[in-house]
Amino acid sequence: MSGPAWDLLIRSARLAAMTPGSPYGEVLDGALAVRDGLIAFAGPDRALPPGASATLEIDAEGRLLTPGLIDCHTHLVHAGHRATEFEQRLGGASYEEVALAGGGIRATVTATRAADEATLLRQSRPRLEALLRDGVTTVEVKSGYGLDRDTELRQLRVARRLGELLPVTVRTTFLGAHAVPAEFEGRPDAWLDLVIAELLPAVAAAGLADAVDAYCEPIAFTPAQVGRLFEAAARLSLPVKLHAEQRSDSGGAALAARHRALSADHLEHLSESGVRALAGSGTVAVLLPGAFLHLRETRTPPVAALRAAGVPLAVATDCNPGTSPLASLTTAMNLSCTLFGLTPAEALAGATRQAARALGLADRGQLDVGLRADLALWNADHPAELAARLGPSSLATRFVAGRPDHAPSR
Ligand code: NIG
Ligand code: FE
């Protein structure tokens, strides 16, 4: 009797399906089958239909198979670096002091404006390739280092182009409200007016953004200003997310929750009332321990309170030149455990199921029938290894919509 004809069948794998209900959704002697880019079977090997076969069959030899990792917060398309600011901060300057002295986001804006599309692509591509080598199959990329119409559009085009050149889903976010550009010094509302009247409609008309983000902070924008932007995004049917409570308690998370934001990100300075606002809102709390580490922050996000309130927790790299020059999501997972107190299971859920939610993607992030067959096969035999390890990546191979990058290696 011949079984179903699948495109791919992986057998003898230890599945960490990351389905809700148990920490890892584990299946010890597991199998996973793919047809037409979607998961057609995920479960115990012994439950496979008799005669099961596929065009490509892989014996995982007991290795760990997880959903492909999802990095739901990056600024990886930018030009230049800011390593000298790292030196300045080690010498005692604060992030705000460096920014107010003309460094910070504006320094990367200057470098990014000066880079043509090919240069921007060439400088950004290795950062994405590093994420892929570490198991990422979906990545979010923000604009926000252009802060003028043409450069913002260029950043988003480069992000989309990277998704065509490399086997990965790229989701783009418009972050025109990342900082007040030098031309609008002291006139944040005038800049926001332009963002709302011209940049956002141009980005939306070009179909270049899947979401809209802002930086809510005294050195950037107030909740009232962000609220205006969010209303404009809603008029264009674009979902929103927010850099909130990174350096101060500004009420950003509550604003995000009120606007049914996909996520509120950073949250080191989140108050108890901020936690209450997020609870039950559906907004995901995205933790960015790379920025916390790189800025040598001391105040951690209120993880225990968020957990107790049932707020979904995601983990991302925040890959950017100023606060988190990090291009490894498993390293961010490790830091979320060591610095913020997540469990390795929460960290892996945060880089799969919860990260998918933070991007509004219901079709991935778990090993379940009908979902996209974005997978990562690891040279590991326990799911806690992914967060326990600090580089080099233990990835054996990735599968994007069921297609392997290369033969699994040891
Ligand atoms: O996520 N906080 C604002 N945005 C980035 C950092 C931007 C920069 O310093 O270049 C962040 O940390
Ligand atoms: Fe960020």
Question: Given the CA of residue 265, which atom of ligand 1 is nearest to it?
Answer: 1
Average pLDDT over every residue of 212-229? 97
Average pLDDT over every residue of 163-168? 98
Question: Given the CA of residue 324, which atom of ligand 1 is nearest to it?
Answer: 12
Distance 302 CA to ligand 2 centre (A): 19
Q: 118-134: per-residue pLDDT in tens?
A: 999 999 999 999 999 99
Ligand 2 is a single-atom ion; what residues have CB below 5 A from it?
Answer: 318
Instruction: Name the residue with tokens 């033969």.
Output: 407
Mutate to test the pocket of ligand 1, among 71, 75, 326 (most ligand atoms within 8 A of CB): 75
In sequence order, the β-bridge partners of residue 11 are 59
Confidence band for 101, pLDDT divided at 50, 70 and 90: confident
- Cβ neighbours around 20 below 10 Å, total: 10
In sequence order, the β-bridge partners of residue 221 are 216
Nearest ligand to the CA of 292 is 1
Q: Which of 103, 184, 172 is nearest to 144 (CA)?
A: 172
Q: 33-62: per-residue pLDDT in tens?
A: 999 999 999 999 999 999 899 999 999 999
In sequence order, the β-bridge partners of residue 399 are 375, 404
In sequence order, the β-bridge partners of residue 13 are 30
Distance 261 CA to ligand 2 centre (A): 15
| Torsion from C-alpha of 93, 99, 105, 106, nearest 10 degrees | -130
- Average pLDDT value over all residues in the chain: 96
322: Cβ–Cβ under 8 A, 6 or more apart, which residues?
82, 85, 95, 104, 105, 107, 108
Q: Which residues line ligand 1 (CB under 6 A)?
A: 104-105, 108, 215, 243, 246, 291, 318, 320-324
In sequence order, the β-bridge partners of residue 27 are 15
Average pLDDT over every residue of 313-323? 98
| Torsion from C-alpha of 320, 326, 327, 332, nearest 10 degrees | -120
pLDDT of residue 145: 98
User: What size, in residues, is the chain?
Assistant: 410
**CB burial string 49-58: b at 16+ within 10 A, e below:** eeebebeeeb
Report the C-alpha gap between 228 and 236 in whole angstroms: 13
**Helix locations, 53-135, DSSP H:** 83-90, 95-100, 105-114, 117-133
pLDDT of residue 407: 60
Contact 3, 53 (CB under 8 A): yes
pLDDT of residue 150: 98
Question: Given the CA of residue 320, which atom of ligand 1 is nearest to it?
Answer: 10
Q: 262-288: per-residue pLDDT in tens?
A: 999 999 999 999 999 999 999 999 999
Does residue 1 carry a pLDDT above 60?
Answer: no
Distance 293 CA to ligand 2 centre (A): 14
Average pLDDT over every residue of 346-364? 98
Contact 382, 388 (CB under 8 A): no
Contact 351, 337 (CB under 8 A): no
pLDDT of residue 102: 84
Report the C-alpha gap between 305 and 264 in whole angstroms: 15
Amino acid at 386: L
Contact 32, 367 (CB under 8 A): yes
- The secondary structure of the chain in percent helix, strand, coil, rounded to multiples of 5, reads 35, 25, 40
Distance 214 CA to ligand 1 centre (A): 10
pLDDT of residue 100: 87
Nearest ligand to the CA of 103 is 1
Report the C-alpha gap between 24 and 251 in whole angstroms: 33
Does residue 406 carry a pLDDT above 80?
Answer: no
Amino acid at 323: T
